[in-house]
Amino acid sequence: MKTKKNVIPVMLALFISGWTFFILALSPPVNADKQESETGTITGTVKVFRARHSGNVVVYLESEGFKKEYPPPEKHTVLDQKNLVFIPRVLPILKGTTIDFRNSDDVQHNIFAPGKVEKFNLGTWGLGGVREHTFNKPGEVIILCNVHSEMVAYIIILKNPYFAKTDPDGIFKIRNILPGTYVLKTWHEKMKSPSQEVTIVKGEVKEINLELKKRK
């Protein structure tokens, strides 16, 4: 019978496609190395003039060419209150990110934002408590605690994921940038924020060193 003759080739085809599927499933979805070779990286050092350290500088890219919306991370970001300080003091996030405000101190803390971009008061709570807020507007949001007037944190809400924060030595790195021309900007709580044009070529690591001086 005709059907019986076809059984072997059909089974062979199923066997081969099965293995192909299996091998494809094992290989990484989009190879990270390939992505790296198609994109560029910006790295460098920001020197904060006459400061104790060069950390807490946000370095970010802006461009008309960026998408209007980037999906925010599902995972919440944490802003803690410990030993009467906000940790971290400076927190850059992608627009739409939810922050869990934690209290890890044995005293009551409050969370409020008095600014223009966001104005809210999440209330006052004790050790182990968490309250969340989602940041949907880009800009700078100053976070304060009305129990301890010296406590301050800065949340920088950015429109795209191409940003980084400097470590205490001022070092930063922004990866996976598609080739193109961008404006590289900086943010610091006290310093002037210079910006400059930067062109990214695929596979290239571009080094940019900046110096930030006091606002006049």
Applying CB under 5 A, the residues found at the interface with Cu ion are 109, 145, 147-148, 151
Query: Can you list the alpha helix ranges (DSSP code H) found in the chain?
Result: 2-26, 32-38
Q: Output the smallest distance, CB 174 to Cu ion, in A.
A: 33
- Least separation, in Å, of the C-beta of 32 and Cu ion? 41
At closest approach, how far in Å is the CB of 151 from Cu ion?
5
CB of 146 to Cu ion, least distance (A): 8
Residue 86 near residue 189, CB atoms below 8 Å: no
DSSP letters spanning 91-122: EEEETT-EEEEE--SSS-EEEEE-SSS--EEE
